[in-house]
Structure 1
Amino acid sequence: MTEYGRGRGPEPWHPEDPLYGDQGWTGHQTQQGQAPYGDPHQGYPQEQQYQQQYPEQQQYAQQPQYEQQQYPQQEYQQQGQYPQYPQQQAYAPQAPQAPQQPMYDSQGWDTGQGQYAVPAPADPYAGADPYAQQAVAGYPGEAPDLYATPEAYPPPQPPGRRHVEPAPQEDEESDSALSADGGRDGDGDGDEPSGGGRRGGRSKGGKGGKAKERSGAACLVATLVIVAVLGGGGYYGYTYLKDRFATAEDYAGEGTGETVDVEIPKGSTLAQMGNILKKQGIVASVEAFTTAAGVNPKGKTIQAGVYTLRKKMSGAAAVAFMTDPAKLNVITVPEGKRNVEVYKAIDARLGKPAGTTEDIAKREAKNLGLPAWAGNNPKLIDPLEGFLYPARYDVGKDSTPESLLKQMVKNATDKYAELGIEGKARELGLENPLQVVTVASLVNAEGKNHEDFRKMSEVVYNRLKKTNDVTNQKLEFDSTFNYIKGTSDLNFSMKEARSLDNPYNTHFVRGLPPGPIGNPGAEALTATLNPDHGGWMFFVSVDGITTTFTQTYEEHQTLVAEFLERQKQKNGG
């Protein structure tokens, strides 16, 4: 056998030897301040006696283990009764040095601990253990017994008797907390010492009580969590099944007498509409509204805007109401519509007496937001004409004639600024931006469709030219005569039209009327700023639908004759 500390004889090594164990046993590591196995400083009594008898050998015994250099094992047989022991090998890093002198015990025999060496120069760091980083005892006689003191670890056990000890459990409370609680480190008087390295003053029963309390609390928390999860899951499961399979909640009938103005934004889906109605108390549920809209053939044609609806209406009643355009609480200004018609629509929608809005418009014209270049001509019939921009306007419970007129004027002013009509007026041979709007109103009134607008604007500009000797700079638009009369007749007395002295009558005066004769839309405005340049001078609508444009008066006379013949046959003449 090659285990350190065991011989080949029948007598075992003394169990009190601190190095008792096998050489390959690494379960017990070297403690700080303790030299590793094989260190000559870990001497035995016979070595200490020998070192006292031979002091000249001490300087070699102080060499640290890592400076030893191994040489082939030298065995010395003691006289008759001691077996031969193998030399202990060192596993620390080797440093070259002179061989050491062998060590002898009290009987003069080699112990196997030392190795041959020759004296070497004194090493100032020979007393320091490079691994433990603590000073090594200066003399062998001063080396402490590492296993005999009360603070020492128990001696290492042989491999056959090893067992893993459970790690000690730390107290859950800190030392400071224990000390602050009435001296819980002890029994309060300090007379009873702590035994076995454990803290005194804490009974096992008390600790068990704490554990039981924590265990009970944990069980209670776990139970509450389980109940909450099951309850929440059951609730959401019930809600899901109800929403999935149950009939949607709905009201019955046309609703109560209480009305609410509800605004539906542009681009709203049916579900979004239903959500708005539900929040306002109109319908009982979103599903009731969307289901009714899906059944109604017009359900997907509901327009954005303001609706005056009753509370607690059935989903079907709400859908039927909102699919009727007449029920939409809005005011729509069509392209080319005259102001007098817009005023009537506002009065009707707001429930005002007839003429209320028109009176406000004439009285408050300067306070409704007109631009500086508008409304200054005293010959204007209506300063707001051309400034009630064509669009759809929502009407709510707070709407007034003034608020609606201001919104319309603002939209028109913003659009004119966007198109830059102030800067383009001179380019078109016009005197001011108001004339641009006036031309656009004529184009919108005379054109039958949007495709004709650019040609119609070309006709206006050509007739306004000073070189026009055919009409002598007269526009001769029937729409201007109808504007004065407040009519829209195609058949009227041309003799009357040419004799009526009115600044708006283009059959009587040259040039443009003082102001617009309607509210032009975006396409008419764009066409006015970009005429066709086709040289058109005349136009006529033979069938009342299609407008035909000509460049010469002869072509125009032919078309006029055709038109008169059609009118004669239509009237039974």
Structure 2
Amino acid sequence: MPYVDGQQQYPQEPQYDQQYQQEQYQQHPQYQEYSNDQQHQYANDQQQYPNDQRHQYPQDPQQQYAQQAPQGYPQQETYDGGGQVWDTGMNQVQAQAPAHLQTHAGQDYAGVAQATGQYAGVAQATDQYADVAQAADPYAGADPYAQQPVGGYPGEAPDLYATPEAFPPPRPPGRRHLDIEEDAADEAEDSFLGGGGHGDGDDDGPDGRRPGRGGKPKKRSGMACLIAAVVIVGVVGGGGYYGYTYLKAKFGAAEDFAGSGIDEAVDVEIPKGAGLGQMGRILKEAGVVASAQAFVDAANANPKGKSIQPGIYPLKKKMSAAAAVEVMTDPTKLHVLTIAEGMRNTTVYDAIDRKLEKPAGTTKDIALREAKNLGLPAWANNDPKIMDPLEGFLYPMRYDLTKDSTPESLLKQMVKNATDKYAELGVEGKAKELGLENPLQVITVASLVNAEGKNHDDFRKMSEVVYNRLKKTNDVTNRKIEFDSTYNYAKNQSEINFNLTEAKAFVNPYNTHNVKGLPPGPIGNPGLDALTATLSPDHGGWMFFVSVDGNKTTFTKTYDEHLKLVAEFQERQKQKNGG
């Protein structure tokens, strides 16, 4: 057939005239409604596609069949699933038409019925019908200049609906919605398991759209199913593992070692202000305990667990939490050196030697030899009669020991702490206010107060006694302090019961029973309470004191009251000694 303007002119059969079409549509209004819908739909399609593609599509299936079907064919009655007659108007046509035309006619009207259901409920109907038309077009891939075959007899035309892409047989109108639901379910399943609905073997159309639903069956990808299964198992397994870990950490017993540890010592330093949780983390990092939570639990279970002090503890690796808590609640196990208030230097030296495992006398030799290089203030050591220039300058407090600690480093630290505290209290400026000659005498008075008193109230009254006895108007003791603690210091002893006559006869610059005024230097290392009491005396006029029972100190203003208390004290001592 010749081509006009690039389009092939298909033969039209004259026997199928327009009158047949009108009669058929008048008898069957449902097809007329469908025709109107289809014409409207095709009008939209013609606006969307180029002219060269639009004119290649076959005409409306119903109109084409109307042109092909001979007039006068009887109508056929069709029964739906309920037994009711569904008049399609095809019974007569199928009865009179040749066999092959009857088959094709049933397929044509089946496609029309299916199209009516799909176009009514599916938003993609326009694209699908375009794809169907393109797939069913037998001339789409043909040579445009080749001669097209012509039917063997009048009225025969190419069968456009005998391909696998044709619509399936029609269903009754009451069940057409089921096709949409099934198709939607198939599409959803293919989309999830088949990579978005494009299964193996599916090819997109020339315009990027998928071919019609009646095309080649999709094949679900086995690899996609496997990947989906692996992802699901991974998510469930991972969630279960993390859930188990969380529940175990939240409600299960904390990980812990057993026993007192292995033979591998480690020094662990607990800083000031550390809570049990921080202590546990420090011990875990040092390899002492298995978990911080186990240490916290053990400390809470121990009555002394919350009294653990900061400092350095000699521990072992892989200890049970309970064993670590037991060591850290024992003050003797703490790797620290504690200087008590009023402690003499000789006692401090011995303690340093023991803690650092040095030979006896090591620290004392260093102190006497290096005294000028340990950081003493300029107003110290102003009397050549001083027995120990560091006396009164080893500030009482706790000192943490490390593996790098040495006698010299500890002595420097103690002297620095004392010097800083004395500067903070303003010792230099208050010496003259108190009637003393120099700041060193303030420290000396504080050392006497700390040695004779028992508490802060005693300290204030005791400092008042010292200042009153130093007055030039003192005609009772003739400016002698007469403290037993000075005699004991000179003798390097700590005795309560000694012969007073012998004490007064013992000549030594530090023996205040024998000499007037203050000793050359401090007799110990005073604490903060003694220092503040020395700087702020009681001003009660006290001159004497005695501890009758060894616990409570009684102060008096007159010598007679003092003699009565002394007699009572001596009587108690005789009863105590059995005499």
Q: Which TM-score tier does this pair reach, normalised by the shorter chain?
A: 0.5 to 0.7
Q: How does 1:332-351 map to 2 (within 5 A)?
A: 332-351=338-357
Work out whether 1:425 is the aligned partner of 2:431.
Answer: yes
CA deviation vs aligned residue, 1:472-498 (integer Å, no higher than 9, x gap): 110000000001112111111111211
- 2:529 paired with 1:523: yes
3-state SS of paired residue (1:510): coil
Tell me whether 1:564 sits opposite 2:553 in the alignment.
no
Distance 1:379 1:358 in 2: 18
CA distance in 1, matches of 2:412, 2:209: 83
What is the alpha-carbon distance in structure 2 between the residues aligned to residue 480 and residue 226 of structure 1? 87
Matches within 5 A, 1:170-569: 233-569=239-575
Tell me the distance in 1 between the aligned counterparts of 2:452 and 2:546: 10
- Counterpart of 2:307 in structure 1: which amino acid? T
What TM-score does the superposition give when structure 2 sets the normalisation length?
Answer: 0.60
C-alpha distance in 2 between matches for 1:563 and 1:298:
40
Whole-angstrom distance in 2 between the partners of 1:222 and 1:537:
98
SS in structure 2 opposite 1:241? helix
Partner of 2:125: none
Letter of the structure 1 residue corresponding to residue 340 of structure 2: P
Q: Is the partner of 2:433 in helix, strand or coil? A: helix
CA distance in 1, matches of 2:357, 2:427: 37
Output the CA distance in 1 between the equivalents of 2:328 and 2:239: 39
SS in 2 for 1:427: coil
Q: Identify which range, 223-232 or 552-561, moves more after superposition.
A: 223-232
SS in 2 for 1:532: coil
User: How many angstroms does 1:249 deviate by?
Assistant: 1.5
Mapped to 1, the partners of 2:424 and 2:312 lie a distance apart of 28
- The structure that is helix-richer by fraction is 2
Q: In structure 2, do the counterparts of structure 1 residues 448 and 399 end up closer, same or farther at CA, with 3 Å as the change threshold? A: same
Q: How far did 1:208 drift?
A: 7.5
Among the aligned pairs, what percent are the same residue?
74
1:344 maps to amino acid? D
| Alpha-carbon separation, structure 1, partners of 2:304 and 2:387 | 43
**Could you give the per-residue CA deviations for residues 70-114 of structure 1, whole angstroms, max 9, x where no partner exists?**
xxxxxxxxxxxxxxxxxxxxxxxxxxxxxxxxxxxxxxxxxxxxx
Question: Compared with structure 1, are the counterparts of its residues 225 and 552 closer, same or farther at alpha carbon in structure 2 (3 Å cutoff)?
Answer: farther
Shift, 1:393, TM fit: 0.8
2:568 is matched by which residue type in structure 1?
E
Separation in 1, partners of 2:359, 2:575 = 43
Deviations 1:277-318 (A, max 9, x none): 001000011122122223223222222211010111111111
Compute the displacement of 1:367 (Å). Answer: 1.1
* Structure-1 residue corresponding to 2:60: none
Question: Any gaps of 5 or more consecutive residues in structure 2?
Answer: 1-203, 211-224
Distance 1:441 1:220, change over 3 A: farther
Counterpart amino acid of residue 386 in structure 2: L
Q: Take 2:548 and 2:530, find their aligned partners in 1: how far apart are those partners?
A: 22
Q: Which amino acid aligns with 1:500?
A: F
TM-score, with structure 1 as normaliser: 0.61
Which residue is equivalent to 1:181?
none
Alpha-carbon separation, structure 1, partners of 2:308 and 2:529: 26
Give the secondary-structure state (helix, strand or coil) at the position aligned to 1:559.
helix
Partner amino acid, structure 1, of 2:491: K
Q: Which whole-Å deviations, capped at 9, do the CAs of 1:300-343 have from their partners, x for residues lacking one?
A: 22222110101111111111111111101111111111111111
Partner AA of 1:384 in structure 2 = L
Task: Give the CA deviation at 1:221.
Answer: 12
| Equivalent-residue separation in structure 1 for 2:258 and 2:557 (angstroms) | 66
Number of residues of Structure 1 aligned to a counterpart in Structure 2: 372
- Equivalent position amino acid for 1:328 in 2: L
SS of structure 2 residue aligned to 1:307 = strand
CA 1:425–1:220: 2 relative to 1, 3 Å:
farther
Q: Give the aligned residue type for 2:576.
A: K
Q: For 1:344-396, what per-residue CA distance to the aligned partner results, in whole angstroms no more than 9, with x for missing partners?
A: 11111111111111111111111111111112322111111111111111111
Query: How many angstroms does 1:413 deviate by?
Result: 0.6
Q: Which residues of 2 match residues 112-127 of structure 1 at below 5 A?
A: none
CA shift in 2, pair 1:532/1:204, >3 Å: same
Decide whether aligned partners of structure 1 residues 409 and 228 sit closer, same or farther in structure 2, where only a CA change above 3 A counts.
farther
Q: CA separation in 2, counterparts of 1:567 and 1:282?
A: 53
CA–CA separation in structure 2 for the residues paired with 1:299 and 1:425: 45
| Cα distance change of structure 1 residues 238 and 489 upon mapping to structure 2, 3 Å threshold | same
Cα displacement (A) at 1:224: 11
Compared CA separation, residues 220 and 547, structure 1 to 2 (3 A): same
Cα distance in 2 between the residues matched to 1:513 and 1:262:
43
Displacement after TM superposition at 1:205 (Å): 5.3
d(CA) in 2 for partners of 1:290, 1:547:
45
> 1:229 offset after TM fit, Å?
6.6
Look up the equivalent residue of 1:435 and give its one-letter code.
Q
CA separation in 2, counterparts of 1:232 and 1:372? Answer: 72
Q: How does 1:133-148 map to 2 (within 5 A)?
A: none
Pair 220,322 (structure 1): closer, same or farther in 2 beyond 3 Å: same
Paired position in structure 1 for 2:44: none
For structure 1, which runs of at least 5 residues remain unmatched after alignment?
1-202, 210-218
**In the aligned structure 1, how far is the partner of 2:422 from the partner of 2:498?**
34
> Cα distance 1:523–1:221, how it changes in 2: closer, same or farther (>3 A)?
farther
